């Protein structure tokens, strides 16, 4: 009996993998991408490929490799993960991207052998995109915490929608102030006519050790004897290992119920977002103990709950949140369903924004589908049902929408629209086959890791690689090799290979098996 639960479509490249036209690729500034967060278990290699060497407990020397196959939005990019032996079906289920921030991506891989997963069946890797031109991508394995570190013997420490990444920050010297690093933003646009203001994001640092760590964090609920809900911050720090911190609220306002399904970072503050209710803001730069949480309610839903039940099945179906120009921006989508067959679909997108220090959102504006013009004469917005709004964090006025001609279960055909809300136009469209999901489930995420992954020959790659020599840098530290099977690992030192070629099997060190 097979314990695998992956989709057969994950064993071949997506059908739109070569759909982007040459003019789209040339005009793309690599500022952001929409990426399928579920892996394709196939072997593909390019300049983004990162390798992770390990030895199985049976003594077989093996490699894990991760490759990003990136397309200009609104095309859906994808990532591939495989063993270099080519045995893609050795995964129990498809690996997933849980979060991205800056040049980092957190990837969850289930390599267990049991029908009921244990915490050690999940391995978490941090993909490091290169900051400088002479560097190559790397994979780093997150060590497991001590047993029972998480409450309720939580089997998966980090989950999608509940995990955030704080970028490189300062741990050296007596100054503990954390200083997240952000990359330079190219000024080219989604289309040649679409411009974006550019602000220099750099703070100059002279000591290359100042920005030397990153942190991954998640919130877990805890109930005291009186039934009050508390939120504990569990985090992995690349310098300090695993920690658990108690939190308290800075004001009397606190959520009645909260289930995070988005995490964003703004100005050193990690924002856990329940798209149905509100946000918990945790300033990771402050040193106070316990850490302070601040709760801010989201604007009330514009979609009547009794008007279209499908919209309440998932908050991401009609709502999204992002950081745009250092402000938190929120969008809510109201879908006007036709009263009878043959009438067009209509929708209204409403946006709000706030700075991290504000106490509430301010309405920015709204756009109606009936006011939107399309550059594609064949596109009939009234014939398409839209959902899953995704706010661009790179182009302030762009909203991505998934659209389908019908909601029939098993219909894989869909379209991704790039809507310019200010100009009220559909800038571009792209086909997307939802072959691994049922109907209109959430299937992709927006990422800006592309700023670090432009091809070496692309002139725009030089834009993102400018910056102080202190940011990043190639370390001559030895890279670890591991024994890995069913989540069990053994670390051993091995010389780091700075080329983008898979290390030779004969170069692996002898690893001790773990029982």
pLDDT in tens, 237-264: 998 889 999 999 988 889 988 999 999 9
Report CA-CA distances (Å) from 315 to 229, 275, 276, 388: 22, 6, 6, 9
> Tell me, what DSSP letter sits at residue 503?
P
Instruction: Report cis status (omega within 30 of 0) of the bond before 74.
Output: yes
* Measured distance CA(376)–CA(20) in Å, rounded: 16
Token output for 386: 């839209």
Helix (H) or strand (E) holding 247: strand 241-249
Stronger pLDDT, 345 or 354, i.e. the higher one: 354
Percent of the chain surpassing pLDDT 90: 44
Flag whether pLDDT at 270 surpasses 70: yes
- How does the average pLDDT of the chain come out, rounded? 78
Handedness of CA 49, 53, 58, 60 (dihedral sign): positive
* Measured distance CA(499)–CA(82) in Å, rounded: 19
Token output for 498: 């700075």
Provide the 3-class DSSP secondary structure of residue 401. Answer: strand
pLDDT digits (tens, 9 = 90+) for 75-93: 999 999 998 877 655 788 8
Flag whether pLDDT at 189 surpasses 60: no
Token output for 369: 């589908």
Flag whether pLDDT at 156 surpasses 90: no
Single pTM value for the model: 0.83
Least confident of 47-61, 66-80, 126-140: 47-61
Residue keyed to tokens 């329940």 = 274
Token output for 135: 């560097």
* Measured distance CA(223)–CA(283) in Å, rounded: 23
Least confident of 21-30, 54-63, 144-153: 54-63
pLDDT digits (tens, 9 = 90+) for 397-443: 999 999 988 776 667 888 999 999 999 999 999 999 887 876 677 68
Instruction: Give residue 168's pLDDT.
Output: 66
Least confident of 38-52, 176-190, 198-212: 198-212
Degrees, nearest 5: CA angle 186-101-414: 80
Token output for 402: 């998934």
Beta bridge partners of residue 64, listed in sequence order = 52, 83
* Measured distance CA(316)–CA(161) in Å, rounded: 10
Least confident of 75-84, 266-275, 506-515: 506-515
Residue 24: other Cβ atoms inside 10 A: 18
């Amino acid at each position: 009996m097979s314990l695998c639960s992956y989709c057969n479509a994950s064993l071949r490249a997506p059908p739109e993998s070569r759909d982007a036209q040459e003019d789209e690729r040339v005009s793309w500034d690599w500022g952001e991408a929409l990426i399928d967060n579920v892996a394709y278990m196939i072997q593909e290699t390019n300049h983004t490929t990162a390798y992770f060497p390990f030895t199985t407990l049976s003594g077989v020397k093996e490699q894990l490799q991760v490759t990003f196959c990136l397309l200009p939005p609104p095309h859906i990019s994808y990532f591939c993960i495989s063993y270099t032996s080519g045995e893609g079906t050795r995964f129990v289920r498809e690996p997933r991207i849980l979060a991205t921030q800056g040049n980092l991506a957190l990837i969850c891989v289930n390599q267990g052998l049991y029908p009921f997963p244990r915490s050690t069946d999940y391995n978490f890797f941090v993909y490091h995109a290169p900051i400088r031109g002479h560097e190559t991508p790397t994979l780093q394995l997150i060590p497991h915490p001590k047993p029972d570190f998480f409450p309720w013997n939580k089997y998966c420490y980090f989950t999608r929608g509940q995990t955030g990444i704080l970028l490189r920050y300062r741990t050296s010297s007596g100054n503990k102030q954390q200083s997240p690093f952000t990359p330079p933003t190219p000024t080219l646009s989604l289309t040649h006519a679409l411009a974006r203001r550019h602000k220099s994001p750099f703070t100059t640092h002279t000591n290359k050790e100042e920005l030397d760590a990153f942190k991954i964090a998640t919130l877990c609920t805890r109930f005291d004897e009186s039934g009050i809900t508390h939120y504990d911050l569990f985090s992995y720090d690349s310098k300090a290992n695993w920690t658990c911190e108690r939190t308290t609220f800075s004001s009397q306002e606190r959520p009645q119920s909260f289930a995070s399904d988005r995490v964003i970072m703004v100005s050193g503050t990690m924002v856990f977002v329940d798209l149905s209710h509100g946000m918990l803001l945790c300033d990771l730069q402050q040193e106070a103990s316990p850490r302070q949480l601040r709760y801010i309610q989201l604007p009330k839903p514009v979609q009547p709950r009794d008007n279209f039940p499908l919209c309440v099945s998932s908050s991401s179906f009609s709502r999204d949140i992002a950081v745009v120009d250092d402000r938190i921006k929120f969008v809510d989508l109201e879908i006007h369903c036709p009263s009878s067959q043959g009438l067009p679909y209509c929708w209204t997108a409403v946006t709000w924004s706030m700075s991290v220090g504000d106490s509430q959102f301010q309405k920015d504006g709204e756009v109606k589908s009936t006011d939107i013009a399309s550059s594609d004469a064949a596109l009939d917005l009234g014939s398409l049902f839209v959902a899953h709004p995704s706010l661009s964090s790179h182009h302030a006025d762009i909203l991505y929408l998934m659209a389908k001609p019908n909601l029939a279960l098993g219909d894989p055909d869909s379209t991704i629209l790039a809507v310019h809300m200010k100009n009220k136009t559909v800038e571009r469209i792209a086909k997307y086959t939802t072959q691994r999901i049922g109907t209109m489930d959430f299937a992709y995420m927006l990422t800006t890791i592309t700023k670090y992954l432009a091809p070496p020959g692309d002139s725009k790659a030089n834009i993102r690689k400018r910056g102080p020599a202190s940011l990043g840098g190639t370390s001559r530290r030895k890279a670890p090799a591991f024994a890995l099977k069913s989540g069990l690992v053994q670390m051993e030192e091995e010389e780091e290979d700075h080329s983008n070629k898979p290390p030779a099997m004969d170069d692996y060190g002898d690893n001790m098996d773990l029982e």
